[in-house]
Structures are given as C-alpha cells and as structure tokens.
Structure 1
Amino acid sequence: MNRRRFLATLGFTSALAGCLGNDPPVADDANAGGADSAAGGTETPRAGPFDLPIPEDELRRGAPKDAIPAITAPVYSDDWSGFDEVSVELDDSFEVVGVELDGIVRAYPLAILNWHEIVNDTFDGRPVVVTYCPLCGSAVVADRLVQGEPTYFGVSGFLWMSDLVMYDDRTNSLWSQVLATAIRGELTGDTLSLLPATISTWGEWKASHPDTDVLVPPPVSGTIRGRQTRRYEVNPYTSYQQSSSIGIGFNDDVDERMHPKTSVIGVTAGGVARAYPFDPVSNAGVVNDRVADLPVVVSATTDGTLVAYVRRVDGTVLEFERDGDVLVGGGSRWDIVTGRALDGPHEGTALTRANDRSPMFWFAWADFNPGTEIYGA
C-alpha cells in the first residue's frame, strides 16, 4: 500500500477560515475534561483500530464551541417556497442526505448542512441525529440516545482526523462523527446506533420518494443559538472539495492510491474493508461482489448517487444487471436510490444496505479504515 498520509419537530465564513486554515492549540474546555480515564471497567476501549480515549493533543480547534450552530428545532415542508425568510430556491441539483425511517421520509440539503453540520430531529417520537462533515464529505445518521435517554448533539469546534467532533449535552463527552463513538469524556467508548441514509440530489430523491419533506433553512428552523441565518446559496467548501488539501492536522500519513477527494462508498464485513470509487462503479453500471462472505451489489445513478446493498433476498443471492435507470435481478426491476423492487416476484421488497455510512472522500475512508481494499485496484 502506497501511503504518505411545514412540520416542526422537537452562524458562517469566519469559522470556516478556522476549519481550513488556522491551527491553534487545544484550550482547556469542558468538552475535553475528564477524558483521560476510560469509562467503565479497566480494559482500554477501542473504536476500530483506535485506542480510546484519543490523546487530547490529537484534537484541533477549528472553531469555537457552537460557532457552527447545530439545528435543534427543524422545520419541514415540501419545498422552500412560501417562506419569506428563505431567499434561496431549492434546485433539483442540490445534494441532500435522504432518510427514510418509520414511514417518514425527509431530505436534508447539504446547502444547509455545510453551515450547520448537525440536525437534532425526531421521527414519530424517535430521537435521531443527522450529521454531515464537509471536510470528510461524510454523512452519519443515528439514534440520538445517550445512556438510553434522548440528548441533543452540538458542534464542539474540535476536529479529529479532519472529521467533525460532536458533543452531547448530557455529559459533554466528545464524539467522532465518522466512528459514531465517544472518543473523550465520561462516555468514552459508547457508540450510537446507526441508521441508513443516502446522499442523492434533491431531484432524484423526490422522484424516488414523492412523499418526502425537506428541511427548511434557518431562521425558519431554529438552532442551538436561536435564530441564525447563513448564505445558503453559497457552498463555502467548493475550492476545498476540488483541491487535494486535507482538512487540518493529523493527515500526514495519507493513502495516495487515489486522489484524496475521490468519492467512495465503503463496505466492511468479516474483517475486510473495501472502497468502491464512483468512476469504476459508474463505468461498470452495476458491480456484483463479495466482501468476505457478504454478497453486495454496488451501483450509481446518472446524477451521482452511489449505493451499496446486500444482494441476498429471502436466503437467495441474486445476480444483478443494469437496465437503463434500474437494476434487474431475480425477475424484478429495482430502484437504485431506494433499493426497492418495482415489480415482479419481489415487488415491494427493499434490499438491505451494505454500507453503515454514506459515501465519503477517499482520504477519510482510508484514515478510518487502514488497510482497506479498493474495488478494481
């Protein structure tokens, strides 16, 4: 390996400069306090290949606590029209994090998440947190329960391995977004239960989910700092996403097998981690593969939605082909975005997702999954 290194539930350019440029030392902070001893028991907790708690000097302060204001009072509608406070038109090309849970379907535009990173939500009484790290290009959705009780999560302002570090309001423990694990504080080693999510375009998501609602940007939605607003028509990370630069700090050992900002979807099973880059998957149309003993099918839409599903249905492993905008397997046609059979003997059946986390930048997948394989390499 070549490595160098209208439904209601329940501010920011200067801070961005801190995320991408300045690298001040970590100050004493309530978020980082009390994290030097593992919570519960004498055995050192681990998250994947990482010993916990992670050393304090591996944290980088990208912004003050809550300077990126997490959304705590989300509001939804079928689009953004009709809101005087919203001057941005919701375009079909906007990328969204799509979540379908307990019969409720919602979309969270990256135009909002680039500026707020965390949405504390509720699905029919079920507390859920939707997160996005612009530096890693990673979306992670999970139940927002800490010690069995609902909590809200905020943006600590710290980064670890260039990834968003969250805090919970019950214990102020620090949580890695990609790992969905507490890495410092009272809850060190605790993990969140992950929920399936898709990164798609608004156009593709609503076509596959005509009953979806979409998050309305602040100030309609409320944040941890009250009424806030940002320039939601501007992506402050455009130049970063197009460059080979990587976050801030602790990326000296970068896996150079691909450009660091290559979009990959990762699957882990049986001690094997494999990354599927967008271009090879798109060129193939459909990939039937196995990760250890897990049979998977990986595909991508013309708009760039990258998905991975388990291709075992009712105990039978299916072989898929591509037919235009759908997959064909087991006598049924399957929607790529939802993984749901549209007709035939499996009509209505939904494939199980093979990936725990959304597609993300290659450097982030490789950092959190050292020794990962690459499909097609």
Structure 2
Amino acid sequence: MTNSVTRRAALVSVGTGAAALAGCLGDRGVGSAGSASSTDSPTEGDGSSDPSTADRSGPPTRDDTLPLPMNSSSIRDRAISGGPPKDGIPAIDDPQFVTAAAAAERLNPGDPVFGLARGDAVKAYPQSILVSHEICNDVVDGVPVSVTYCPLTGTAMGFERGDTTFGVSGRLVNNNLIMYDRATETWWPQVLATAIPGPWNESPATRSLREFRVVWTTWERWVDRHPETRVLSRETGFARNYDDDPYGTYNPRLGYYEPESSPMFPPLATDERLEPKRVVIGARTAAGAFAVEKNHLRDAKLVRGELGGTPVVATYDQALDTGYVFLNPDTRRFDYRRGRVHGADGGTHPPADLPLERVDAFDAMWFAWRGFYPETTLYD
C-alpha cells in the first residue's frame, strides 16, 4: 500500500517538471506538444485544443441523468486528495499523433491501448502515456472530446467536451479520478460521469455527460482490426519516461494491477464475490446497472441478464477482447457461433452490432463498480 501511494505521489513531480518545461518553451501553455525531443515521426497536430481560448461554456450533457450511489453532496464529502494538487497530473491539451508503423517501435503486442473509432477517425491512446496524464483533450472527426483513464479503477472512458476542456482536479472518490471542466470548475467523477459540487461550484445542476465508447484492448488486436489507426505520440510537451508505469505493469499484470491486491485508498464498499481488481464490463442507465465478469463473458461469449429490470444481452468480441451490452426488452433469442451472433430470425451480426439498442459499457475494477453501483446485477 505504501509503495502504491509513493508511486502516485511521484506523479506530482511529473506535473511540476512539465510546467517548468513549458515555461522554458515560450508562450505555448502547459501541455503544448512539438517541443520535447521525440523519435516518433511523422507527427500531426490534429487534436489541438487551447484551454485559454476554448473554455466558453460547460460540456454538453445528456437528456437523462445517470444513477448515483448517494446524493451528490455526500459524494463530494467523500472526495479525498490523491496526492497531486489540481493539475498536478497534467492533461494533454495539444495531442500529436503518429502512424501505426511509427508507434509499433515503442509498443509491444500485448500493451494496452484505448481504441476509438468515431466517424472517419480511428485512434489509439496507449495506456503507457495516459497513465501519466489521465486526460487527453482531443478533436475526433470534428468533435471536441476527452479520452480519460483512471489507473486506480482501471477505467477508460470518452466524453464530449463542447467548448471547454477537462483537467485533473487532484481529488478522488472511490479511488476514481475526479475531472473538472475548465469553464465552470464543476467536478465530474469519471465513472459516474455526473456533476457533483466542488470548491468553485457549490451547487451544480445534476446532469450527466455525453459518453462514447472507448475500447480497452491490446496494441496487437487494435492494429490488426484498424491498420490505418493513428496513435497518440509520446511527444506530449512533458518530460516523462513513458516506459515506466509508476503503478506496475499490465504486460504482464504486476504491482497495483494484480486482481487480488487492495485498492490504494479505502473504497466506498467491499464485496467478496470477486477479487477487488477483477475486471468486469459494466453498463448503466438511469434505471440501474449491470456488470459481467470479463473472464465469464470470454468463456460464455454471450450472457443474458437484467439492467434495472430490463432484459439485456452482453456479447463478446474475440478480435478485440472486449464486450458490448444491449437492451433486449422483448427477450429476443440470440446465439453465439464462430465469432458471430445469430438471431432466431436467421440474421447474423457482429458482436458489436446487434439489432438492439446498445448501452455504453466499459471495463472497470470490481471494487470500483460495486462502490458506485451498489444495486448492480452481477453475472460471474
């Protein structure tokens, strides 16, 4: 436990050093890229977002509100310091991207990446980079977005950001990253994706962010599916050794990322049905929450369950080693055979594209999901 805290505290020096580096580079602002030396080439700056000019209003929100484990003020009361101060872990605000061939020089086949396919854009964000930044403010297919990663809860998620950008508040709840938007200073816990009071915004309206799917997979799997992908470059503008993960390693899984190890800080709840950091694929709507152990979905390929009283079906995508969750109110019958999902009507579908409403789902450590969604159904 002590070693883990020390690792997180080490990230403070990363942020401090980066600010000093940016100051030496002229009036670019913290997070500007293209100044630190890098062997990644060629680069492109197609994700630029200048926080000094972009922060005009709060981020866009969805029509409904996602569930909270308690009222928003109580969540704020449970927020703790993670060690680094506000922006001590610096978001990437001017991301640069390289070709798959250039990225392959630094990525091993089993290294985790967070994949994003949106419109005509296909991008990958290596875990080895985002572990030091947690937020990448980008523009994807013309839409301003933020790709976010919390190493303490194992959650990679995407959000629309509108005219503002997100930063790292330095606070955690249930070990999970609390983001803040630079327009209104509202706090947004990443997994909850819902506004809670912060020191600069005591009474935000209860609203939830617009999300999109970010796929947690490996470099080998992603580039096999998307050979044209662009990849977040190590040329971030920050002095950081991206070969050194302060928490451990995912390839192989060691240190903080081992399933049986304890969370860094006390979680909101404990549940011995699974080891604390066993990975589940979770989905939630305003009506409730659903989780399936990822190993169980790998084995079963198709899992039927309920989310807030509505039947759902979860499917496994073997090519990307990920899962998808669909609402199935009419309990339509599906079977999984040879990588395809077969309907009772004779139609066949890829696992990500059933003729049902798909619910946003993502990988999470069990302790984190259980703490945020105590009424969740679990299929293991």
Bin for the TM-score computed over the shorter chain: 0.7 to 0.9
Residue 335 of structure 1: which of 346, 350, 356 is its match?
Answer: 350
Deviation at residue 57 of structure 1 after TM alignment: 5.8
**Separation in 1, partners of 2:80, 2:138:** 27
Instruction: Supply the AA of the counterpart residue of 1:227.
Output: F
Query: Pairwise CA RMSD of aligned residues?
Result: 3.2
What residue is the counterpart of 1:168 in the other structure?
A: 181
Aligned to 1:136: 153
The secondary structure found in structure 2 opposite 1:122 is: strand
Structure 2 residue 143 is matched with structure 1 residue 157: no
Amino acid at match of 2:98: S
| SS, match of residue 371 in structure 2 | helix
CA contact under 8 A between 2:92 and 2:135: conserved in structure 1? Answer: yes
1:19, 1:78 → 2: CA distance? 31
For the Cα contact (< 8 Å) 1:269–1:293, is it kept in 2? no
Alignment partner for residue 104 of structure 1, among 121, 134, 140? 121
Q: Deviations over 1:249-271 (max 9, x none)?
A: 34263122211111111233573
CA 303–63 in structure 1, closer or farther in 2 if over 3 Å, else same: farther
**What is the alpha-carbon distance in structure 2 between the residues aligned to residue 107 and residue 168 of structure 1?**
23
- Partners of 2:334 and 2:342 within 8 A in 1: yes
| Corresponding residue number in structure 2 for 1:255 | 271
Q: 1:123 to 1:55 in 2, by over 3 A?
A: closer
Secondary structure in 2 matching 1:107: strand
Instruction: Note the 1:340-351 alignment, pairs <5 A.
Output: 340=353
Does the CA-based 8 Å contact 1:129-1:144 persist in structure 2?
Answer: yes
Distance 2:77 2:105 in 1: 40
- For 2:175, give the aligned amino acid: S
Please report how far the alpha carbon of residue 160 of structure 1 lies from its aligned counterpart in structure 2 after TM superposition.
1.3
Q: Secondary structure at the match of 2:369?
A: helix
Indicate which of 285, 288, 294 corresponds to 2:301. Answer: 285
Label 1:285 to 1:78 Cα distance change in 2 as closer, same or farther (>3 A).
same
Aligned partners of 1:243 and 1:309: how far apart in 2?
23
Question: Which residue does the alignment assign to 2:239?
Answer: 228
Question: Which residue, out of 348, 358, 364, partners 1:353?
Answer: 358
Alpha-carbon separation, structure 2, partners of 1:325 and 1:87: 27
Q: Which residue of 1 aligns with 2:338?
A: 324
- SS for the counterpart of 2:256 is helix
Q: Distance in 2 between matches of 1:88 and 1:232?
A: 12
Residue equivalent to 1:23: none
- The secondary structure found in structure 1 opposite 2:129 is helix
Q: Is the 1:15–1:63 Cα contact (8 Å) retained in structure 2?
A: no
Change (3 A) 1:252 1:366: closer
Pairing 1:16–2:7 present: yes
Task: Answer yes or no: is 1:310 the counterpart of 2:321.
Answer: no
CA–CA distance in 2 between the matches of 1:58 and 1:375?
Answer: 29
Separation in 1 of the partners of 2:336 and 2:66?
A: 40
Offset of residue 246 of structure 1: 3.8
User: Would you say the 8 A contact 1:75–1:215 is kept in 2?
Assistant: yes
Q: d(CA) in 2 for partners of 1:133 and 1:103?
A: 27
Q: Provide Cα deviations, 1:97-142, integer angstroms capped at 9, x if missing partner.
A: 2222233222212121222111101123311011011110111211
Sort the Cα spacing of 1:203 and 1:273 in 2 relative to 1 into closer, same or farther, 3 A.
same
Q: How does 1:236-247 map to 2 (within 5 A)?
A: 236-238=247-249, 239-242=255-258, 244-247=260-263
Specify the code of the residue in structure 2 equivalent to 1:263.
Answer: V
**Alpha-carbon distance, 1:143 to partner:** 0.6
Match of 1:39 in 2: none
Identical counterparts, % of pairs: 33
For the 8 Å contact 2:221–2:319, the answer to whether it is kept is yes
**Alpha-carbon contact 1:270-1:293 (below 8 Å) kept:** no
3-state SS in 2 of match to 1:203: helix
Task: Name the amino acid aligned to 1:136.
Answer: T
Q: Please identify, of 154-163 and 180-189, the stretch whose mean Cα deviation from structure 2 is larger.
A: 180-189
Q: Could you report, residue by residue, the CA deviation over 1:331-354 in whole angstroms, capped at 9, with x for unpaired residues?
A: 444333xx147xxxxxxxx76432
Q: CA deviation at 1:293?
A: 5.5
- Relative distance call for 1:52 and 1:293 in structure 2 (3 A) is closer
Name stretches of at least 5 consecutive residues in structure 1 with no aligned partner: 1-12, 21-44, 342-349
In the alignment, what sits opposite 1:73?
94
* Alignment correspondent of 2:29: none
Provide closer, same or farther for how the CA distance between residues 243 and 290 of structure 1 changes in structure 2, counting only shifts above 3 A: closer
Q: TM-score, normalised by structure 1?
A: 0.72
Q: How far apart are residue 163 of structure 1 and its match?
A: 0.4
